[in-house]
Chain A
Amino acid sequence: MDLINAPWPWYISGLAIALIMLLLQLSGKKFGMSSNLRTLCTLCGADKKVDFFNFDWKSQRWNLVVVAGAIIGGALASQIMTSELAVPISSNTIEKLKTLGFESAGEAYLPTELFSTESLSNPKTILVLFFGGLLVGFGARYAGGCTSGHAISGLSNFQLPSLLAVIGFFIGGLMMVHLFYPLIF
């Protein structure tokens, strides 16, 4: 198996995520990425306007270091560890995406219709990316965590709130893809 150039199979990927969570647990920390968004807001001065951002952000410095690592890891993986960027999604999915206008389905890592510099000349692309991010940020804090905090670490500790949040993630995701995509794209 070629772990350097080929995409990782699901079981290697899942094991790697479990290892990352274990390393954080053994460092006395909690695996949760969306908390960084709150810390970044505080660093931008949000604590002067809203009390929610007035917290001991220095206790979260370690997590910002993890984010810096995630950026470096993305650069390493994409530049020197990947020979083939196209994501081999199922042929049914490719067909559905093509009818929605995503011609890059099956041929790219991210849809060029949303994530290429040229695509930004369409104001709709900017709105889609901005509102997608906005919902993620708002929802993650409202639910008290995201995929890492709830779906991975919360569920690993049998937390009922995390199960409710994950059910919510799927209700929202299914609504978006099945009900709203035909209206948006």
Chain B
Amino acid sequence: MRTLLFLIIGILFGITMFKSEAASWFRIYEMFQFEAFHMYGIIGTALVVGVINTQLIKRFNIKSFFGAKIQFIPKEKSITRYILGGIIFGLGWGLAGACPGPMFTLLGAGFWPIAIVIFGALVGTFLYGWAKDRLPH
């Protein structure tokens, strides 16, 4: 039952990434050129509604579908890791034109070369795990 719920959420996510064109390399390039409102509109709308939903859940102590308390774990405090990691991520996002969600959507859409991007992302994740203790956080 729960697996089906997550599968449906995933399908909705995949359809949204494709139909919104957020999975398009062209839209990412255009966003970094500040030449269209499209991507900013998407992120902005998701954020405004997301803030309202999140605050309502907290304010009214809304329980999950399964009756449990909904937890919001604060992110660990730091500056270095977020700025440095963010810049590295941004360089890749600008080059490959896909972030970790849309990569998989594009695979489903049959753009096979995206498999190289996914493979690279797995190698990058592995390299981070390997270098983690030597990096400034």
Bound Cα distance A113, B48 (Å): 36
- Contact across chains for A143 and B16 when beta carbons are under 8 A apart: no
- Contact across chains for A133 and B121 when beta carbons are under 8 A apart: yes
Nearest CB of chain A from residue B124's CB, rounded to whole Å: 3
Bound Cα distance A71, B105 (Å): 5
Bound Cα distance A92, B29 (Å): 12
- In the complex, chain A residues 146-168 whose Cβ is within 8 Å of any chain B Cβ: 146-148, 150-162, 164-168
For residue B14, which residues in chain A have a CB less than 8 angstroms away from its CB?
A: 69-77
Q: Within the complex, which residue of A18, A69, A134, A147 is in contact with B10, where a contact is CB–CB below 8 Å?
A: A69
- In the complex, chain B residues 44-91 whose Cβ is within 8 Å of any chain A Cβ: 44-51, 53-54, 57, 62, 64-66, 68, 70-79, 81-91
- Of B14, B27, B30, B105, chain A has the most CB atoms within 10 Å of the CB of B14
Bound Cα distance A176, B129 (Å): 24
Which residue of chain A has the shortest Cβ distance to B28 in the bound complex? Answer: A173
Q: Within the complex, which residue of B25, B36, B110, B129 is in contact with A46, where a contact is CB–CB below 8 Å?
A: B129
Give the A interface residue count (CB, 8 A). 129
For residue A66, which residues in chain B have a CB less than 8 angstroms away from its CB?
A: 6-7, 9-10, 13
For residue A161, which residues in chain B have a CB less than 8 angstroms away from its CB?
A: 75-78, 82
Bound Cα distance A15, B20 (Å): 11
Taking A28-B64, A134-B92, A137-B120 as contacts, is the C-beta distance between A156 and B50 under 8 angstroms? yes
- Contact across chains for A16 and B89 when beta carbons are under 8 A apart: no
| Interface 0/1 of A34-60, CB less than 8 Å to B | 101110110010100111110000000
Which residue of chain A has the shortest Cβ distance to B77 in the bound complex? Answer: A161
Give the B interface residue count (CB, 8 A). 116
Which residue of chain B has the shortest Cβ distance to A24 in the bound complex? Answer: B9
Nearest CB of chain A from residue B24's CB, rounded to whole Å: 5
- Contact across chains for A69 and B8 when beta carbons are under 8 A apart: yes
- Contact across chains for A144 and B76 when beta carbons are under 8 A apart: yes
- Of A17, A30, A96, A156, chain B has the most CB atoms within 10 Å of the CB of A17
Q: Within the complex, which residue of B21, B72, B121 is in contact with A134, where a contact is CB–CB below 8 Å?
A: B121
For residue B24, which residues in chain A have a CB less than 8 angstroms away from its CB?
A: 87, 109-110
Bound Cα distance A25, B97 (Å): 27
For residue A18, which residues in chain B have a CB less than 8 angstroms away from its CB?
A: 45-46, 49-50, 53
For residue B53, which residues in chain A have a CB less than 8 angstroms away from its CB?
A: 18, 21-22, 25, 156
Which residue of chain A has the shortest Cβ distance to B113 in the bound complex? Answer: A115
Which 9 A/B pairs are nearest by Cβ-Cβ distance?
A: A168-B86, A69-B10, A73-B14, A172-B90, A14-B45, A133-B120, A132-B96, A137-B124, A135-B92
Apart from the given pairs A15-B45, A174-B94, 15 other A-B contacts in the complex at a CB distance below 8 Å? A14-B42, A37-B121, A53-B126, A53-B129, A74-B105, A78-B18, A93-B29, A128-B96, A135-B92, A136-B96, A140-B99, A140-B100, A146-B89, A156-B47, A165-B83
